[in-house]
């Protein structure tokens, strides 16, 4: 947009143009152009047929040809200064039209120079060769005085872009053109249109207009085109679960890397923390303290039994089995220490196998105790041959048989698919779980199943012998302890499968401690009570 009507500029309120944007043919400031304008004088430029008319309109004066005209109009003195005029009337900076004319003159000069240099060469060519060579040379391309490349396309059109002009007016009626962007057809794709929005002065009545059907899509959303609407009309949809968008107006959301998770607003990816049950966190500390406490209590009970090993209550309940059961309980209470801390290859190999073997020994001792109670009563009947089976050999056979069966299962497990440290990135959204991969889940449940089978056998036999007449009959206590044991581990299976991460490990530790504590309290605390508090009851005559 260029103004050519001087009266228009002087009589109209130019404030309406404030903040407007316009496209103008590209131009650059040419060195010496303002000095050229300052030297213009209508009395000197006699060959310029337009300057006097321009001078009369711009300065409201005349070049009178008669005395009457001289009295009516102010006489143009030639001393008027173009640079003294407001910009709204005359802008001393070069306009796009002037810049185009400037380049056109240079283009003609370069073309004439090329033609002159070809004159001798063309004389020796055929007519067709002359025409081809001339057309080639007339495709002018040169750098002008401001360093811009000037060239023409195959149709002879000047390859120039446009400037984006922001018009700014001031209270003194001056008008200023500010270049705020370009439209360059020769620029790389994506850079053809560029605007410096911070440089734009918007009209006073409103701010920057929005050329969209709707507000931009915020972070955490993606654009979806509205069917039947222009390309600038779209819906903003929240990112699907597990995906994010960290920029405005993204076409689609993207998935976070495996070791990151989406923020609540789904506008960024947050690094996952490595999680495992450690000795430094409260849950790990509490479980470790409880495990050490129960193992210490078990050690004290074992010391009491050793000190009173010749008393009737200990001798009546198979002293050797009691020792074996206490030692296995002591070791089982220490097993949780293998589950706490950062998983290592050795701890992963020992966790479940050590627990399985030790617990199978403990429960096999309960089976042997139950059978011993029932068989001992049946052996008292006249003519019974069962007394041949009652004794230490039967108990030892039961314990060793169960031990070897469980050890064989653990050996097969370690040989075929041994547990190993693993980093689970998918079970929990915000954590990477460092855990022991069991290798073979089937073998893990086989070990638990064998312990459960022994517990059911012990419960059944003890339940059948709970009413046998014996002063120190512990069948009732075995029944209760096995009932508690089975309840804990039956509850453990669904809870273990439904939890993930360190809480799954904590659940198994709790089951080990709870079932072991049930055996310790129900089997041995009544005997310790009689030994230490009620020694008068510790007699074979009762």
Taking the CA atoms of residue 237, residue 243, residue 245 and residue 249 in that order, the dihedral angle to the nearest 10 degrees is -30
pLDDT at 14: 67
pLDDT at 66: 64
pLDDT at 8: 40
Compute the C-alpha angle 187/190/193, nearest 5°: 65
Compute the C-alpha angle 194/197/200, nearest 5°: 115
pLDDT at 144: 85
H/E segment holding residue 456:
helix 441-464
Residue from 309, 306, 391, 367 nearest 519 by CA:
367
Q: Which segments of 465-501 does DSSP mark as H helices, in order?
A: 475-498
- Please tell me which residue, 251 or 128, carries the higher pLDDT value: 251
Report whether pLDDT(229) > 50: yes
Cβ neighbours of residue 348 under 8 Å, at least 6 residues apart?
Answer: 418, 419, 420, 421, 436, 437
5 band by pLDDT with thresholds 50, 70 and 90? very low
pLDDT at 67: 63
Report the distance separating Cα 481 and Cα 478, nearest Å.
5
User: Which of helix, strand or coil describes residue 237?
Assistant: strand
- Please tell me which residue, 143 or 171, carries the higher pLDDT value: 143
Report whether pLDDT(4) > 50: no
pLDDT in tens, 89-131: 777 888 888 888 888 888 888 877 777 766 655 555 556 555 5
377 band by pLDDT with thresholds 50, 70 and 90? low
First-to-last C-alpha distance (Å) of the chain: 121
- Please tell me which residue, 437 or 141, carries the higher pLDDT value: 437
Q: Which segments of 4-66 does DSSP mark as H helices, in order?
A: 6-11, 33-38, 51-59
Cβ neighbours around 384 below 10 Å, total = 13
CA Rg, the chain, in Å? 51
Q: Give 260-290 as a 3 state SS string.
A: EEECCCCCCEEECEEECCCCCCHHHHHHHHH
Kindly state the tokens that stand for 442: 């089937």
pLDDT at 285: 95
Cβ neighbours around 152 below 10 Å, total = 15
Report whether pLDDT(331) > 90: yes
Report the distance separating Cα 213 and Cα 230, nearest Å.
9
Report whether pLDDT(345) > 90: yes
Q: Give 62-111 as a 3 state SS string.
A: ECCCCHHHHHHCCECCCCCCHHHCCCCCCCCCCCHHHHHHHHHHHHHHHH
Cβ neighbours of residue 315 under 8 Å, at least 6 residues apart?
Answer: 309
pLDDT at 409: 94
Report whether pLDDT(323) > 90: yes
β-bridge pairing 260-262 and 273-275: unpaired
Report whether pLDDT(132) > 80: no
Mean pLDDT score of the chain: 82
Cβ neighbours of residue 97 under 8 Å, at least 6 residues apart?
Answer: 2, 25
Q: Can you tell me the mean pLDDT for 300-308?
A: 93
Report whether pLDDT(226) > 90: no
Report whether pLDDT(324) > 90: yes
pLDDT at 46: 79
Min mean pLDDT across 77-81, 153-157, 314-318, 400-404 is at 153-157
424 band by pLDDT with thresholds 50, 70 and 90? confident
Report the distance separating Cα 513 and Cα 450, nearest Å.
19
pTM: 0.61
Report the distance separating Cα 111 and Cα 137, nearest Å.
8
- Please tell me which residue, 483 or 130, carries the higher pLDDT value: 483
Report the distance separating Cα 365 and Cα 377, nearest Å.
18
Contact 250, 223 (CB under 8 A): yes
List residues bridging with 334 in a β-sheet.
Answer: none
pLDDT at 74: 80
Q: Which segments of 308-418 does DSSP mark as H helices, in order?
A: 312-315, 319-334, 336-339, 345-378, 392-417
Report whether pLDDT(181) > 80: yes
């Amino acid at each position: 947009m260029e103004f050519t009507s001087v009266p228009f500029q002087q009589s109209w309120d130019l404030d309406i143009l404030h903040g407007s944007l316009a496209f103008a043919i590209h131009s650059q400031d040419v060195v010496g152009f303002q000095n050229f304008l300052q030297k213009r004088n209508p009395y000197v430029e006699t060959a310029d047929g337009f300057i006097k008319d321009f001078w009369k309109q711009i300065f409201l004066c005349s070049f009178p040809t008669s005395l009457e005209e001289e009295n009516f109009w102010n006489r143009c003195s030639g001393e008027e200064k173009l640079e003294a005029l407001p910009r709204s009337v005359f802008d001393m900076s070069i306009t796009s039209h002037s810049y185009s004319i400037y380049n056109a003159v240079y283009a003609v000069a370069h073309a004439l120079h090329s033609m002159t240099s070809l004159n001798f060469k063309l004389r020796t060519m055929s007519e067709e060769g002359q025409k081809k060579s001339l057309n080639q040379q007339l495709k002018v391309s040169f750098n002008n005085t401001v360093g811009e490349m000037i060239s023409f396309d195959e149709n002879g059109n000047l390859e120039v872009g446009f400037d984006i002009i922001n018009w700014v007016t001031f209270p003194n009626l001056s008008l200023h053109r500010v270049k705020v962007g370009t439209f360059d057809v020769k620029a790389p794709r994506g850079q053809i249109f560029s605007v410096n929005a911070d440089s734009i002065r918007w009209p006073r009545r409103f701010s920057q207009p929005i050329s969209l059907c709707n507000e931009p899509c915020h972070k955490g959303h993606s654009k979806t085109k509205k069917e039947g609407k222009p390309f600038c009309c779209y819906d903003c949809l929240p990112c699907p679960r597990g995906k994010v968008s960290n920029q405005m107006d993204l076409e689609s959301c993207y998935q976070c890397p495996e070791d990151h998770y989406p923020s609540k607003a789904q506008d960024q990816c947050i690094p996952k923390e490595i999680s495992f049950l450690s000795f430094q966190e409260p849950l790990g500390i509490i479980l470790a303290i409880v495990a050490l406490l129960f193992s210490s209590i078990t050690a004290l009970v074992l010391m009491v039994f050793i000190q009173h090993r010749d008393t009737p209550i200990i001798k009546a309940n198979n002293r050797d089995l009691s020792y074996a059961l206490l030692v296995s309980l002591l070791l089982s209470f220490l097993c949780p220490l293998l589950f706490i801390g950062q998983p290592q290859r050795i701890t992963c190999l020992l966790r479940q196998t050590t627990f399985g073997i030790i617990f199978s020994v403990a429960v096999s001792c309960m089976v042997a105790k139950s059978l011993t109670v029932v068989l001992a009563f049946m052996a008292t009947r006249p003519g019974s041959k069962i007394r041949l089976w009652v004794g230490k050999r039967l108990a030892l056979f039961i314990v060793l048989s169960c031990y070897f069966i469980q050890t064989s299962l653990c050996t097969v497990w370690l040989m075929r698919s041994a547990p190993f440290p693993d980093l689970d990135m998918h079970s929990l959204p915000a954590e990477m779980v460092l855990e022991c991969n069991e290798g073979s889940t089937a073998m893990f449940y086989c070990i638990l199943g064998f312990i459960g089978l022994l517990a059911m056998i012990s419960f059944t036999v003890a339940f059948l012998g709970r009413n046998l007449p014996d002063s120190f009959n512990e069948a009732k206590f075995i029944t209760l302890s096995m009932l508690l044991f089975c309840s804990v581990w039956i509850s453990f299976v669904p809870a273990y499968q439904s939890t993930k991460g360190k809480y799954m490990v904590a659940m198994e530790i709790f089951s080990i401690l709870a079932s072991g504590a049930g055996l310790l309290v129900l089997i041995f605390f009544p005997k310790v009570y009689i030994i230490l508090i009620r020694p008068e009851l510790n007699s074979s005559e009762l």
